[in-house]
Amino acid sequence: MQYRHLGASGLQVSALSFGAWVTFAQQYGEDLAYDCMKAAYDAGVNFFDNAEVYAHGQAEVVMGNVIRRAGWKRSDLVISTKIFWGGDGPNDTGLSRKHVIEGANAALARLQLDYVDLIFCHRPDIYTPIEETVRAMSYLVDSGKAFYWGTSEWSAADIMEAYQIARRQHLTPPAMEQPQYHMLHRERVEKEYARLYREIGLGTTIWSPLASGILTGKYNDGMPEGTRVSLKDYEWLRKNFESDQGKANIEKARQLAPVAEELGCTQSQLALAWCLKNPNVSTVITGASRPEQVVENMAALDVVDKLTPDVLARIEGILDNKPTPLSDFR
């Protein structure tokens, strides 16, 4: 396993990490979660990602039980959660000081942990002043309930505002962002955040590197049963896949298949390796429905060096979506 610094921080996270979204307490229970997390841990993964909203909190319960059952040394793990959607009450959603602190306490109880290493604002909250959220997150760090805090799917402008507020008020600034990033979704990570990597040392823990499965190639010939498009509450995903843009993305996945074959890897490994090639990616969050899939994903590390300039140029020709660079008027 390779380890990368989380942006400009001193924390090192495994280049490939493992997350609980979709699978934990939805596709499978604690025994299979244990097998998958152990396969990841045995491969050198130290970062495990979660959120209060995943399976309505049950994903955190499952992960907490697995950690306790495995008996892993706490200092060997980097555990995260994300706060925004915590329930149905008027103060159970958003990034108010009340929900940030109460949501974090509830997440720690479900995880059976004294602290998380990383805590994220799962989305921006248009109804809560950014300063209120920054103060609440800084309080969690100061109280030892989290070591670093960050954002997920925030604009570059909002991240910079949060950072500047923290610096002016002598609070803890955001250290990382968790954005969607994959071959078919590139603008924010490659262009919008470009100055943040340089100016504030932003780290990234990217999610959905396989584009909800499109880049695995499993949908190249249709919509197989047993995949997430057939899950309850994921009807939106099927609609996305069946849209004109979705069909175009699946066609790109079909065209990537020969590239993977020539490199001697799966399409999933190719997509993960492509994300890892970006030096501004601190870690790529993977998921899996069985331990064998975890092992397959980890082998993407062996593909990174195979992505030569010629191979990357061929991939760019298929994707045809490289963000235009920032204007240089010098």
Residue-wise pLDDT tens digits, 123-158: 999 999 999 999 999 999 999 999 999 999 999 999
State yes or no: pLDDT of 230 exceeds 70: no
User: What is the number of residues in the chain?
Assistant: 330
pLDDT for position 72: 98
Q: Angle between the 130-142 and 156-168 helix axes, to the nearest 10 degrees?
A: 60
The 10 Å Cβ neighbour count of residue 285 is 22
State yes or no: pLDDT of 232 exceeds 70: no
Question: Structure tokens of 55?
Answer: 């399976």
pLDDT for position 240: 80
State yes or no: pLDDT of 225 exceeds 70: no
For the whole model, what pTM was predicted? Answer: 0.94
pLDDT for position 237: 73
- Least confident interval from 13-17, 111-115, 230-234: 230-234
Domain residue spans in the chain? 3-212+271-289
Q: What is the per-residue pLDDT across 15-38, written as a single tens digit (0 to 9) for each?
A: 999 999 988 878 889 999 999 999
Kindly state the average pLDDT of the residues 115-122: 98
Distance CA 276, CA 146 (A): 26
Return the CATH fold of 3-212+271-289: TIM Barrel (3.20.20)
Q: What is the per-residue pLDDT across 245-302, written as a single tens digit (0 to 9) for each?
A: 888 999 999 999 999 999 999 999 999 999 999 999 999 999 999 999 999 999 999 9
Among the listed residues 34, 41, 54, 219, the single catalytic one is: 54
State yes or no: pLDDT of 226 exceeds 70: no
Q: What is the per-residue pLDDT across 68-92, written as a single tens digit (0 to 9) for each?
A: 999 999 999 999 999 999 999 999 9
CB contact at 8 A, 145 and 116:
yes
Residue 54 known to be catalytic: yes
Distance CA 143, CA 185 (A): 37
